[in-house]
Structure 1
Amino acid sequence: MRVNTQEEPRLVVSHQEADTQRTASPFIEANTVAVSLAELRQEHIIPVYVKDNEPLVSQADFISTAQEAVATVFQDQQLLTPQIRCSHSIKGRIPEAKDKPATQLQDWEKTLYYERMMFLLEIPSITDIIDGNTLTLTVGGVKAYNLDNLYNKKGAAEHFKVFIGFNNQVCTNLCVRTDGYLADLKVSSLEQLYVGIRQLISSYDQQLHLKQLQSLTEHAITEQQFAQLLGRCRMYQHLPTEEKKQIPPLLFGDTQLTTVCKDYYRDASFCKQEDGNISLWRLYNLMTGANKSTYIDQFLDRSVNALDFSVQVQGGLQGHSASWYLN
């Protein structure tokens, strides 16, 4: 179904002062906790390589390097305070307290770091409005120590995930496109990490991304098509392997799909219209909203997949390609 719209994507760059911190719902929930940059830097220990006891790149240094890269590219813009979420805590204690009962441990005797961390750096002066929703240019990344080989020595490649895209301020849903995402940036120093982030930002086409997002507002599916789509999405996970290879992949599981179904009726911002129709823009945001229940290590892959899936459905509606999910 084609929806008439006169609105065109328009990037707005403002040099006005902005608050350095934004109060909003978490960009990811799952089993994460909010952590400040100061806490990461001052209170969390840093894993080391077993062979030489040299430290890996700390999560705090990763964020600081990203801040430096973003500030260099967007020299006249202000960055908000990083939003940081961590999961999978690794707790310990200093050797002197090894025999103490846990209830008697003092704070200074405890050690802590989080195996997985994700952060966002918002640039509030670079925005766009799509379907009444304000989108803010955002850079971020993931550091998950479980992806690194700690039984190595300093100089071995470390793994990072880095992205640039937009953050929907209505619901803090992240809009990430393939050309704005490095799923596995392998580096062995902060200098290489800085270069990798700079290169990603330079190669990202934000105007094309916005145009693609805007185009989702121009098409809608009926309630019957939504039911067909959701049913096929649930079937996809159980298809034979060879049959799956012929279909555009879907990374969302039953938990996320159940949330999409529930929010189709109840979401305050992106639910269906009274006649049951729902635009692909709203459907896309239901998916990115449901993605908040995903663990950090899969979050960005599903973010990209949500847009790829929505665009594939759009192609089916336009008749440009057959869509197994709508057939």
Structure 2
Amino acid sequence: METMTNELTVIPGTIGMMTRMMDVINTEEIEDAVIVSEEEQEEHPNFIESNTSGITLEELESNCIVPSFGDNQLTISHQTFIHRIEEAARTYFTGENFGNTEIRVSHRILGRVPGALTKKKEELKPEDETIYYQRMAFCFHIRSMSRMMNGEEVHLCIGGVRSLNEENLYNRKSPEKFKIFIGWRVKVCSNLMLTNDGLTGRLEVMSDADIYSSALRLFQDFNPEQNLRLLENLGRTKISQEQFCQIIGRLRLYQALPASQLGELPKVILGDSNVNAATKGYIENPNFGLRGRGNISCWDLMQLLNDAAKQSYIDKFLERNRNCTDFAIGIQKALNGEDAENYGWFLS
């Protein structure tokens, strides 16, 4: 698949047009994003890769404008979103030691100030141009809340995702959409391991105060130790090479099934390139691949799928990550004879 440019130029007063154009660009046929080099992954592992780039909070605050709705009311800025989640985390996890906040952005939107509308492109000066990022993901871990899980160090991690392509910016202000998560993160590869109780998949709010209170509710409902035991248990169930090949083959077949048959099976939202990456990781991944062993565990399967899901666009990343966890848990149940009717299909 060819790499698509994720940059769009807009002028003031055309936010509605810009939103519709981005909806056309990001069609359902565009499933996956650009994969960074293996060298870069090894030296600087990110919690998400794809077509994202790193940015600091200071750059967001000083270099980026805040888009507005059609009635000129400002959206909640990326930096405000980050600040409210950080505040909620420090309130709930009082006295804990927090790590730095990592921010990844994509789909840069370029514009002009009103006074530069008639200038040619080559005449534009830096002060004539505006910029913001349509999609943003961030996370930070709690250093003092670390554990060992299946031989790997993990940290409790908190973060969120914002995708302005989900907003109707050319209309009047309406509830804005955010996603918040909390879960364990593997230190060696920065893989997130999200479960249903650790993800608010569609949060709609009218103010940043709503973000703060929603984050507190998520933290209160999440049980870190119970979640850790659930994930750690995946390491106790082994998957032979024949079973792994069967799972991969079924995942490929799954994508071609008619809707009537898909409705009878567990939902899997991984794209074809995600499955390809997990297959490659089975052979090459130094932490969770075969590594000369005769088999892997359901823990390893989850990590291979999670690592592959990091290639997804920001707006699809969290749901795919949680889906990887659900899939690994489902495969474990099928292998143990607990859920052969559903996930057993992937092993049959």
TM-score of the pair, normalised by structure 1: 0.90
Q: What is the aligned partner in structure 1 of residue 335 from structure 2? A: 317
Q: CA deviation at 1:273?
A: 4.5
Q: Does 1:31 align with 2:51?
A: yes
Output the amino acid matched with 1:81: N
| 2:277 is aligned with 1:244 | no
Secondary structure at the counterpart of residue 126 of structure 1: strand
Match of 1:280 in 2: 298
> 1:16 corresponds to which residue?
none
What does residue 96 of structure 1 align with? 115
Provide the aligned C-alpha RMSD in A.
1.3
**Helix, strand or coil at the partner of 1:185:** strand
Q: Residue 211 in 1 paired to residue 229 in 2?
A: yes
Q: CA deviation at 1:207?
A: 1.5
Cα distance, 1:179 vs structure 2: 0.4
SS of the equivalent of 1:143 reads: strand
- What per-residue deviation string (whole Å, max 9, x for no partner) do you get for residues 80-138 of structure 1? 22100011111012233334343443222211001110000211110111122111111
More deviation in 172-181 or 271-280? Answer: 271-280
Deviation, structure 1 residue 306: 0.4
CA distance in 2, matches of 1:26, 1:135: 15
In structure 2, C-alpha distance between the alignment counterparts of 1:66 and 1:116, rounded to whole Å: 17
> What are the equivalent positions in structure 2 for 1:135-146 lying under 5 Å apart?
135-146=154-165
State the partner residue of 1:43.
Answer: 63
Residue-by-residue CA offset, 1:52-78 (whole Å, 9 max, x unaligned): x11010000000000100000011012
Asked whether the equivalents of residues 283 and 291 of structure 2 are also in contact (C-alpha less than 8 Å), the reply is no
| 1:127-163 deviation digits (Å, cap 9, x = unpaired) | 1111221111111001111112223334x21100010
Matching of residue 296 in structure 1 with residue 314 in structure 2 = yes
The alignment of Structure 1 onto Structure 2 pairs a total of residues equal to 303
2:88 to 63, 69, 75: 69
Matched residue SS, 2:115? helix
Q: 1:163, 1:24 → 2: CA distance?
A: 22
| Equivalent in the alignment of 1:19 | none
Q: For residues 261 and 68 of structure 1, what CA distance do their matches in structure 2 show? A: 40
Q: Cα–Cα, structure 1 residues 275 and 133, in superposed 2: closer, same or farther, change >3 Å?
A: closer
* Conserved 8 A contact 2:107-2:134: yes
Superposed CA deviations along residues 214-259 of structure 1, whole A, max 9, x for unmatched, are 1110011111111101000000011111111111111111101111
For residue 177 of structure 1, the aligned residue among 163, 187, 195 is 195
Matches within 5 A, 1:111-150: 111-150=130-169
Determine the C-alpha separation between the residues in 2 that align with 1:75 and 1:211: 23
Equivalent-residue separation in structure 1 for 2:146 and 2:226 (angstroms): 14
Q: Deviations for 1:276-324, whole angstroms, at most 9, x for unmatched residues? A: 3111111110111111110001000001000100000000110011111
Tell me, yes or no, if structure 1 residue 224 matches structure 2 residue 242: yes
User: Secondary structure of 2:203's match?
Assistant: strand
Distance apart, 1:268 and its partner CA: 1.0
Secondary structure of the structure 1 residue equivalent to 2:345: coil
Give the SS at the match of 2:303: helix
Aligned to 1:136, the other structure's residue is in SS state strand
Deviation by residue 1:186-210 (Cα, 9 ceiling, x = unmatched): 1101111111111011101211210
Residue aligning to 2:26? none
Q: Structure 1 residue 253 and structure 2 residue 280: aligned?
A: no
User: Is 1:86 the equivalent of 2:105?
Assistant: yes
CA–CA distance in 1 between the matches of 2:61 and 2:111?
A: 17
Superposed structure 1 runs of 4+ greater than 6 Å apart: none
Paired amino acid for 1:95: P
Percent identity, aligned pairs only, is 36
SS in 2 for 1:293: coil
